Amino acid sequence: MALQRWWLVRVLVLCLLCGACAAAKQRYLSVSMDEELLRSKQAHLDCPPWKKSDIQDDMSDDLSPSPQIAYDRLLGGLLVEGFDEKSCRSRYQFARYHNSPSIPSAYLIERLRKQEALQKKCGPGTKAYKEASKQLKYGQSINTTDCNYLYLIIHAGLGNRMLEITSAFLYALLTNRILLVDRYKEIADLFCEPFPGTSWLVPSDFPLNNDEFSQTSPESYGNMLQNKVFGGNTDRSLAGNRPPYVYLHLDGTYGFHDKLFFCEDDQQFLQEVSWLIMRTDMYFVPSLFLIPAFQDELSRLFPEKDTVFHHLARYLFHPTNNVWYSVTKYFRSYLAKAEKRVGIQIRIYETKGILQRNGPFPHILNQILSCAQNEKLLPEVSMAEGAAAETQNNRTAAGTQNNRTIAVLTTSLSSWYSDQIQKKYDEQPAVDGITVKVFQPSHEEYQRSRNKKHNMKALAEIYLLSMSDELITSGFSTFGYAAQGLAGLKPWIMFKSENHVMPDPPCGRAMSIEPCFHQAPFYDCKAKKDADLGKVVPYVRHCEDVSWGLKIVNQTHL
C-alpha cells in the first residue's frame, strides 16, 4: 500500500510539473517584446530550456504564415544566393511575410551586382583600401587607386538611420563609390552585412575621428566654398589642389553653402575627391532626382520612381537573428491567423506638462479611430445597449462560421492608446460581427535612441508594421516612413493636431510609398535663386505631412 501511495504521489508531482511548464510556455506567447528579445539567452523557471538549435537552426517552411504559397526569396533579383543562411535568416525569409507590389528593374539588379564587385574589390582589408586609408592618415591628396569612398557617420534615431543609409547608398551607387558606415552605432547588432564577401563597417583603425566633424569643420564643403579655398574658381576645378577628403555636412542644421552639394557643378567637383565623409540624418533622395547629371541614370534604375526606398531598403537591411526571431515569433503568435492585419504607428508631438509628452491625449485616440473607421480599415461599432452580449451570443451560435478577425498592431511609446482601442471593441463590438484584437509589442514611454535594446525592439516593430495589409502612420515620423517603405504600402497619414484639437480630416492617403525629405533645399542651382522645387519636375512634389519637404511620386505630369 505504501508503495502504491509513493507511486501516486510521484505521478501527481510529475503532472504538476508538466502543467507548470505548459503554462509557462503558453505565457511565452503573451509576453512583451522585452522578454522575446531575451528568449534566446534565458530559460523560464525550471522548465526545459529553449535549445540553441531551436533558435539558430533554419526555420522550416511550415513556420511561414502561408506555407502553401510560393515566395521569392531573392526579392525579384535584389539579393543573390551564397550567403550563410544560418547566420542571417531574415535575408532570405523576409519574403515569406510580405509580397512586394513592385518588381525591381533589370538595370537596378545589374548595377547592384557591379556595386557588390566594387565593394569587394575596394573594401576593408584589401590592398586598395589600405592605400586609400594611408592617404587619409598622412594627408596625401594623390589618388593612387581607382577606388573612391563614401564614409557615413551615423548619429540619429533608428528611423533616420535607415533613411540616411539608404540615401548614402544611392549616392554611392550613382557616383561609383564604396559605401562604408560607422561601426560604433550598433549597426552590427541590428543589421547583417548586405554585401557578399566584404564588410560595410569601417575598420576600427580608421584614421579619422568622427568627433572632429561638425558644421564648423574647415574640411566641410560648405566652409571650403565660403572661405574660397578653391581660389574663387567659378568652375570649382581642383586643378592640382585636390584635398585628401571633403566633409559633407548634410544634417538638419546645414546652411546655404552646405546645400550646394545638390548642385550639378558641385557634384562635378566632388567627383574628383577620393574620400567623402558624410553626416546626415535625412532622406535626401528627392534632391538627387533634381540633379540633371543623375536623372537619366535614376530613370533607368527606377522606372517606377516611387520605389527607391522600397527596393534599396529590402536590399540593404536584414535584421540580425535576435531581432528576426522576435519578429517572426510575435507575428506567428498573434498576427498570422487574422483575416486582415492593420498596422497603426503612433507618434505623439503634443505636449502636456513636461514629462507627459505621450499622453494620454483623448483627441489623438479619436483621431486614430476616426481615421481607421472612416477609411474602412476598422469596422464601425454598435451603439445599441446589450450589443456586446448579443454579438457574443451570435458568435457562439454561429460557431466558426463567423470567425473573422482583424489583428491591429499598434506601435507607440505609450500603451494607453492600444488599451483604449481594444476596450472600445470589447464594450461596443463591430456591427458586422468581426472580432478586433489589438496587440502592442512594447511601450518604452520615451525614446532612447542610444540604447541598443531599445533600438532592437524598435527595429522589430518596424518589420512587424511592414507585414501589415493596411497601414496608418503619424505624419513627420521617420519610423513610419521606414515601415511603409519596406511594406511598399501607401499609408493613411495622420495629420498633426493643433491646440489639442483633432484635425479635419483626421488623415489622408499618401501620394506614394516614399519617405519625405524634411529639410530639402529650395535653391534653384541653374537660376541661382530660391525657387519652389516641388514644381520643377512631375515626380518630385511637396509632402503631405511636411509642406516644405519634398518626396518622390510616380507621376509624369505637373
Task: Give backbone dihedrals phi and psi of 209, rounded to 5 degrees, phi first.
Answer: -100, 125
pLDDT given for residue 185 in this prediction: 74
Q: Tell me which residue has cell 521606414.
A: 482
| Pair 429, 292 in one domain | no
Is residue 145 one of the residues assigned to a domain?
Answer: yes
The whole-number average pLDDT for the span 51-67 is 41
Q: What is the mean pLDDT of the chain?
A: 85
When pLDDT is averaged across residues 169-174 and rounded to a whole number, the result is: 98
Whether 159 is covered by a domain: the verdict is: yes
Residues 267 and 370 in one domain: no
DSSP calls for 351-404: -STTT-TT---HHHHHHHHHHHHHTTSS--B--STTHHHHHHHHHHHHGGGG--
Looking at the structure, tell me whether residues 295 and 325 fall in a common domain.
no
Is residue 414 domain-resident?
yes
Range of the domain at 417: 321-379+402-552
Residue 248's pLDDT is 98
Which of 224-228, 413-417, 515-519, 553-557 has the largest mean confidence?
515-519
pLDDT at 362: 93
Phi first, then psi, for residue 405 (nearest 5°) are -135, 135
- Check pLDDT > 70 for residue 49: no
User: Of the candidates 90, 95, 251, which has an alpha carbon nearest to the alpha carbon of residue 167?
Assistant: 251
Instruction: Identify whether residues 495 and 421 lie together within a single domain.
Output: yes
Q: Tell me the mean pLDDT in the region 15-34.
A: 42
Q: Which run of H or of E encompasses 14?
A: helix 2-28
Gyration radius (Cα) of the chain, Å: 26
Do residues 514 and 254 lie in contact, with contact meaning Cβ atoms separated by under 8 Å?
A: no
304 or 146, which is more confident:
304
Question: What grid cell was written down for 206?
Answer: 580608421
Among residues 473, 416, 469, 405, the alpha carbon closest in space to that of 440 is found at 416
Number of domains in the chain: 2
Q: Are residues 281 and 344 in the same domain?
A: no
Same domain, 409 and 488: yes
Summarised one tens digit per residue, pLDDT across range 283-294 is 999 999 999 999
Query: Residue 60 falls within a domain, yes or no?
Result: no
In a domain, 101, yes or no: no
CB-CB contact of 497 with 545 (8 Å): no
Do 474 and 517 sit in the same domain of this protein? yes
Which residue, 257, 276, 303, sits at the end of a domain?
A: 303
Q: What is the pLDDT of residues 75-104, one digit of tens each?
A: 999 999 999 999 999 999 999 998 899 999
Instruction: Count the neighbouring beta carbons within 10 Å of the beta carbon of residue 338.
Output: 20
**132 and 247 inside one domain:** yes
d(CA 351, CA 443): 18
CATH number of the domain at 328, please. 3.40.50.11350
What is the torsional sign of CA 398, 400, 401, 402?
positive
CB atoms within 10 A of CB 469: 16
Residues 166 and 254 in one domain: yes
Q: Do strands 405-411 and 340-345 pair parallel, antiparallel, or not at all (unpaired)?
A: parallel
pLDDT surpasses 80 at 538: yes
User: Do residue 351 and residue 413 come from a single domain?
Assistant: yes
Query: How confident is the model over 25-48, as pLDDT tens digits?
Result: 332 333 345 554 444 333 222 222
